[in-house]
Structure 1
Amino acid sequence: MSEVNGPRRRYDSARRREQAAATRHSVIAAARELFIEKGYAATTIADVARRAEVAVDTVYATVGRKPALMREVVETAISGTDHAVPAERRDYVQRLRQAETAREKISIYAQALAGIHPRLAPVYLALRDAGSTDPDSAALWAEISQRRAANMRRFIEDIASTGELRADRPADELADVVWSMNGPEYWILLVAERGWTPQQFADWLTDAWSRLLLERR
């Protein structure tokens, strides 16, 4: 009996996991759309449930309350997947670490940002606006900002490992410069407002950071 039922149970279990993943995806996608369209404060869990075509209880069971929804929307926008992905496990970070020259590392990161910001920038601005009135969103904004700053210090350390990092300015200062230019706000200014293409943005960052961060040969 167990031999007959075993494959069936595995099939049913796999199907339930797929359905749960699809539901989670729909809930996060609905929350993302609404947070951008209406703003965090004006969006209710009922709105999200209606947009995702699920019950309100399903939203709570799948992701959680509104603060948890905002966190998942931000994290999935950063990772480009349905789950948060730590920086060291992202494909472009691994390629960056393996690159041999500083300019190649800079180019890999700049190209990655050109792929991330189209999906992240609108969410990031929604989070910033939400933080003006919602303490949970303000805390998440500060957390993401500090995490980004720490990652930029690791980025500068990685460039320094090539022996090409300029030595006349403090490494923390250089990391802060990269942090200020890799933010979605900078993307919005140049791409959304000034009409730059994503490739133009990536090329600019590669050139600018190479000039600002590296020793002059």
Structure 2
Amino acid sequence: MNLVPGQVKRRYDASGRRQAAEANRQAILEAARELFTTRGYAATTVKDIAERAGVAVDTVYAVVGRKPALFLELVESALSGTDQAVPARRRDYVHAMRGEPDAGRKLEIYAGAIGDIHRRLAPLLRVAQTATHVEVVDIWQGIADRRAANMRELAQDLLGTGQLRPELGVDEIADIVWATNSPEFYCLLVEDRGWPPERFTAWLGDAWRRLLLA
């Protein structure tokens, strides 16, 4: 393109389009969360989500994807506490735990993080429990498997303090924490038995101390 003398070529600024796309993404995820948790996964269509978010159906597919992708995005956001998926090793509480030399304090930090995570994740657990779709079952199983792998890393970190019961090995430590930090366990006590979330968090940290520390 030939410029007129003295004319400056303008650079294309895509920030406005990125902001609009992110706003659409947030509206879509909020709509999906609301509809999944009130109507259920099966009864919610992509068309319903698009209408609630105020966007076209094609926009839902382009920005996030099909229903399984929407559900996975919601689960990942609940786990990270942000609007994006964040690997466990990069989360703030994991950095805090790794920097803490005392095993009991590590467990307290983790119990607090679990309480926060499950406040966000519990409604999605109910969605998964009532959904018979294979894709939802697979997503939830994948999260459980990933959590189990992460617990082995946590067990190694705890053993490194030299403060755990000597008869406990990596597998048993990982399994104990994996079972008791599950969203299912949280819902049993907080939603089904009516425990305040703060009580659950305090109890969990104390229970881990009693079960694991020498």
Q: Does 1:26 align with 2:31?
A: no
The alpha-carbon deviation at position 37 of structure 1 amounts to 0.8
More helix by proportion, 1 or 2? 1
Deviations 1:111-158 (CA, angstroms, capped at 9, x unpaired):
11111111111112212332xx21111211111110011111111111
Cross-structure match for 2:205: 206
* Structure 1 equivalent of residue 123 of structure 2: 122
Partner of 2:10: 5
Task: Tell me by how many angstroms 1:166 deviates.
Answer: 1.5
Tell me what 1:170 maps to: 169
**Misfit runs of 4+, over 6 Å:** none
3-state SS in 2 of match to 1:29: helix
Q: TM-score, normalised by structure 1?
A: 0.91
For residues 113 and 76 of structure 2, the distance between their equivalents in structure 1, rounded to whole angstroms, comes to: 16
Q: Is the 8 A contact 1:74 1:124 kept in 2?
A: no
Residue 140 of structure 1 corresponds to which residue in structure 2? 139
Distance (Å, rounded) in 2 between the aligned partners of 1:196 and 1:18: 40
1:77 aligned residue: 78
Letter of the 1:69 partner, please give it.
L
> 1:194 corresponds to which residue?
193
Greater CA radius of gyration, 1 or 2?
2
Task: Tell me the matched-pair count.
Answer: 209
Distance in 1, matches of 2:58 and 2:199, equals: 45
**Runs of at least 5 residues in structure 1 that lack an aligned partner in the other structure:** none
Rounded to whole Å, the distance in 2 between the matches of 1:169 and 1:176 is 11
For 2:52 and 2:164, the matched residues in 1 are separated by: 49
Q: CA deviation at 1:3?
A: 5.0
Unaligned stretches of 5+ residues in structure 2 = none
Q: Which residue of 1 aligns with 2:183?
A: 184
The amino acid that maps onto 2:10 is N
Question: What is the match of residue 103 of structure 1?
Answer: 104
Q: CA deviation at 1:67?
A: 1.1
Contact 1:127 1:137 in 2 (8 A): yes
**Kept after mapping to 2: 8 A contact 1:164/1:214:** yes
- Indicate the RMSD between aligned Cα atoms, in angstroms: 1.5
Q: How far 1:189 sits from its partner (Å)?
A: 1.8
Report the identity percentage.
52
Letter in 2 for 1:109: Y
Distance 2:101 2:180 in 1: 23
